[in-house]
Amino acid sequence: MSEMDKLKITRPLSAVEFAFGPSDLSSQQTGLDPSFATARHGQTAPLDITQSFEVLVAGYDIWAHVMTFIFNDGRRAPGMCAPQNCPWALESPWSKTMRHLEEWRASQHHRLHYPNNSVVAHTTLGWGESFTYINLLYYTSTIMLHREYFPFLPTPASVPRGPVDQPTLEAEAPEGWWDESASVLFGAAEQIAKLLHDASDCGSEMLIPFVGFCAFSAAYMNLYAFLFPQMNLGRSPDAETHLKYCLAYLEKFRHVWKLGESWIATINHATILYQRAASDKSRYQGKTRKDFNVLHQSLHEFRVPDRSDQHLQEIEGAEATSVPLIPDPVLESNIGSDMLDLDMPLSNLLNEVSTYAHEQGMWSHWWPPLDEVNLAPHDIQP
């Protein structure tokens, strides 16, 4: 984006300009510079749906900064736990990125904001996909930023708090900061689930990789809220339903992109871990994110090889007790794990997973070749 500014790259066309061609008349009359830098920094009117290309370009610039922060070890990077770099510090990298995200959101016309505005209304006018995409980008960026500071493995009694494994933050958060962060984090996961569900209902569903990643990220957070409800102070009563919405999308997605198989596998393994941890808080006592490094890494990656063996080996290696648990029939039936006994020894569980591979499909390694992508006519959006 900085290079675009230096080179005075022309801003993306609006949908009207794309359809009818750009006109210099408005800029001649107002003296506006058509460069993207001026359009971004000198914007006087909120960007509406016809300017969705411009909205998305600016949004993806922020997304790139978010993911750069995450993949450069986030809070675990050298110096990131120092008081001046804690997320509530105004000049910390986290705060600056979050501020840019909220400024981007504020630059949009209020009619672009879900859930205050419906997918069906925009779909009726032909803008359903753009509306969905813009909101998914906002909510997924929000998840990635806030999730970085939450414990990977809480206990059933845990309430919102910062990291519990090393390195921990070197300053105390302002009163209520973690409660508010939890509300924003799990609220974003809820909105993604409902947005995907609404888009499916009104024919604006997009079976494309970025949207699949949004569904995957939201599924994980809704699973977390469902099994550890106190981590959002009981404010996610419908987390199970929202988890189902995300899994329903991923089930469709995996028939078009094999990438979906890896995401489904990762959610299944997170379910095994979290169900056991929620059923017996002593089972993984003292275990932290570092004990499940491969599984944690898989939760962040856009393209992942099949790491099923490593996920299960981590869970098995972290077992703190061999006391058998009573399976939770409600959880198993609702999340779709009824075909597996989640409390069997994990060496047997791995064989069981392989047995049911015909129901999960082949767990993919990387992006499939183009000729393997099943682009059925009803899945192609105009």
Which residues have a Cβ under 8 Å from the Cβ of 216 and sit 6 or more positions away? 246, 250, 263, 266, 267
**Band of residue 4 on the pLDDT scale cut at 50, 70, 90:** confident
Tokens in use for 212?
């699949």
pLDDT of residue 37 exceeding 60, the answer is no
Which amino acid is residue 240, in one-letter code?
Answer: E
Residues 57 and 28 in one domain: no
How many domains are there within the chain?
2
Residues 23 and 132 in one domain: no
Residues 138 and 17 in one domain: no
**What mean pLDDT comes out for the span 196-215?**
95
The per-residue pLDDT for 172 is 96
Residues 104 and 193 in one domain: yes
For the whole model, what pTM was predicted? 0.79
Residue appearing with tokens 């791995």: 350
**What mean pLDDT comes out for the span 259-278?**
92
The span from the CA of 345 to the CA of 128, in Å, is 47
Residues 160 and 39 in one domain: no
**What mean pLDDT comes out for the span 17-34?**
57
Yes or no: say if 182 and 232 are a contact pair by the CB < 8 Å rule.
yes
Residues 19 and 153 in one domain: no
Residues 165 and 312 in one domain: yes
pLDDT of residue 136 exceeding 60, the answer is yes
The per-residue pLDDT for 303 is 65
Residues 56 and 13 in one domain: no
Residues 293 and 344 in one domain: yes
What's the pLDDT tens digit per position in 52-86? 999 999 999 999 999 999 989 999 999 999 999 99
**Band of residue 318 on the pLDDT scale cut at 50, 70, 90:** confident
pLDDT of residue 377 exceeding 60, the answer is no
Residues 178 and 155 in one domain: yes
**Band of residue 44 on the pLDDT scale cut at 50, 70, 90:** low
Number of H helices, E strands in the chain: 17, 0
Q: Which domain holds residue 181?
A: 51-379
Residues 145 and 1 in one domain: no
The answer to which of 154-158, 248-252, 306-310, 373-377 has the lowest mean pLDDT is: 373-377
**What mean pLDDT comes out for the span 107-124?**
96
Residues 61 and 165 in one domain: yes
